[in-house]
Amino acid sequence: MKSLKENFQKAHIVIIGSGIIGRFNALELAQLGYQVTIIDPAQHQNSSNAALGLLMGNMYQKRRGRSWDLRKQSIELWPKWIKFLQKLNCELNIEKPLIQVTTDEEKFKKLEKFVYENNDQNLRILERDSIFIKNINKAFQTKNIKGMISFEDGRINPFSLLQTLNKYLKHKKVNYLQEEIIKIRKSNNQWISTTRNNEDIKSEMVILCNSLKAINLLESQSHNIKLKPVLGQAMEIEVNDAEVDLLSLPKQFNINGKNIIPKSKNKLIIGSTDEYSTKPEEDTFAKLTNFLDKRPNWLMKGKISKKWFGIRSRPDGEPSPIMKNLDNGVILCTGFYKNGILLAPACSKWVANEIKNYLY
Ligand SMILES: Cc1cc2nc3c(=O)[nH]c(=O)nc-3n(C[C@H](O)[C@H](O)[C@H](O)COP(=O)(O)OP(=O)(O)OC[C@H]3O[C@@H](n4cnc5c(N)ncnc54)[C@H](O)[C@@H]3O)c2cc1C
């Protein structure tokens, strides 16, 4: 008789969608010994490739409920995964700290209350004479910037992360099929995923990580799940002003809701907007630079050297993300309209537990 371990390792799991959520699930499951196939027609054109990679965990102001629980778990899991993935890419890292600043007195008061009430050693209010505040005020020609620093939050380079995951999945012989799945159905205790080219792939379980399109593969009336598209935009700006040194700014920070990542002395990335739309708009520059009442000249005269966007999925009528064990071996993992990079480790751990429970 075969041991439980042998049965478990033989199980074939199909993951539909290869964004960060699909790939992280594959990492977790391949490491546990499952046979995994990822299916995606366009692995480079998803919202994961558009992400900026900020990991806003500890600075999240609501310290209870499901959303906080997922963040907390991810905050704990990320260092272990980084250590593990560094064996394949020693440069992969979480660049810390993360800074959040505002010119809005009300918002600052909320930040202050949050920091004092939580008594978290990794969170501090930034004093007026802190070097970070001084440099932001100098570069943006402001006087009233205030904010907080989170020593344990930061940024991971999403491109490098996705590449490293690919390297590991290849090493673990995870199959990758460049196909679109148009239908899933159950037959004789197995799931059949049918590709647009009419190929059938059999598996014991299916994990839907295909964002907005997940509902197309479900009998939506029976599950009543609704998703809305949310557009996120970002751009790289080139600045032509010898007086400005963008490298004097913090490595990553959020100012009045916009994320900023200086890339070099004269280049920075700004993102991202949230709009209920699927088409990027013409006025990206205006939308992404409207975070101050008065923009400094160097920013006004800056030129867009790159711009990009991603469409994420937001659950309608229930909180984000949707992680559900549907029926008979289908797991739904979608609706990560924000923070998909941050939450990937907690989400894949949850999926792995659901799979273990289902298969035994
Ligand atoms: C500009 C921008 C900045 C962002 N910044 C951050 C950030 O700083 N930090 C953070 O944590 N998050 C950030 N996000 C959010 C983050 O990108 C998302 O939460 C995350 O990428 C969602 O990942 P996903 O795997 O669910 O979806 P996706 O990456 O969109 O992947 C879904 C995949 O499913 C595939 N697919 C669809 N239908 C099918 C089908 N029928 N068959 C097979 N495959 C299919 C698609 O081709 C796609 O590759 C940002 C997003 C944007 C757009």
Task: Give the tens place of pLDDT for each residue, 168-211.
Answer: 999 999 999 999 999 999 999 899 999 999 999 999 999 999 99
Nearest CA to ligand 1 atom 4: 51
Sign of CA dihedral 164, 169, 173, 175: negative
Nearest CA to ligand 1 atom 33: 17
Closest CA to 228 of 323, 312, 343: 312
Cβ–Cβ under 8 Å, residues 335 and 228: no
128 with 221, same domain: the answer is no
Ligand 1 atom at minimum distance from 272 CA: 1
Mean of the per-residue pLDDT values of the chain: 94
124 with 216, same domain: the answer is no
> Which CATH number characterizes residue 236's domain?
3.30.9.10
Of 316 and 222, the structure prediction assigns the larger pLDDT to 316
d(CA 338, CA 345): 15
Nearest CA to ligand 1 atom 21: 48
Ligand 1 binding pocket, CB closer than 6 Å: 16-22, 39-43, 46-48, 50-54, 180-181, 209-211, 213, 232-234, 271-272, 310, 312, 336, 338-342
pLDDT for 208: 98
| Cβ atoms < 10 Å from Cβ of 90 | 8
* Predicted confidence (pLDDT) per residue in 304-340, tens digit: 999 999 999 999 999 999 999 997 899 999 999 999 9
21 with 65, same domain: the answer is yes
CA 154 / ligand 1 centre spacing (Å) = 19
64 with 203, same domain: the answer is yes
Cβ–Cβ under 8 Å, residues 38 and 209: no
d(CA 245, CA 243): 7
pLDDT for 5: 52
Ligand 1 atom at minimum distance from 273 CA: 1
pLDDT for 144 beyond 60: yes
pLDDT for 19 beyond 60: yes
pLDDT for 260: 98
pLDDT for 1: 45
DSSP state of 65: S
Which pLDDT band, with edges at 50, 70 and 90, does 280 fall under? confident
d(CA 176, CA 169): 9
Nearest CA to ligand 1 atom 5: 51
Going by C-beta distance under 8 Å and a sequence separation of 6 or more, which residues neighbour residue 316? Answer: 226, 227, 228
CA 4 / ligand 1 centre spacing (Å) = 35
Closest CA to 49 of 170, 155, 153, 157: 157
d(CA 51, CA 143): 30
Mean pLDDT over 156-179 rounds to 98
307 with 337, same domain: the answer is no
pLDDT for 221: 56
Domain that includes residue 184, residue range: 4-89+157-226+316-359
Total domains in the chain come to 2
CA 17 / ligand 1 centre spacing (Å) = 9
Closest CA to 323 of 230, 219, 208: 208
pTM for this predicted structure: 0.96
DSSP H or E segment with residue 238: strand 227-238
Q: How many helices (H) and strands (E) does the chain have?
A: 11, 19
pLDDT for 240: 93
Mean pLDDT over 129-146 rounds to 95
83 with 166, same domain: the answer is yes
236 with 306, same domain: the answer is yes
Mean pLDDT over 263-284 rounds to 88
pLDDT for 224: 87
44 with 122, same domain: the answer is no
Mean pLDDT over 56-76 rounds to 96
CA 48 / ligand 1 centre spacing (Å) = 4
CA atoms within 13 A on the CB side of 271: 24
Mean pLDDT over 118-127 rounds to 94
Pocket test for ligand 1, best of 47, 75, 77 (most atoms within 8 A of CB): 47
pLDDT for 229: 96
- Helices 20-31 & 340-359, crossing angle to 10 degrees? 40
CA 54 / ligand 1 centre spacing (Å) = 14
pLDDT for 6: 53
pLDDT for 203: 97
172 with 311, same domain: the answer is no
84 with 176, same domain: the answer is yes
pLDDT for 4 beyond 60: no
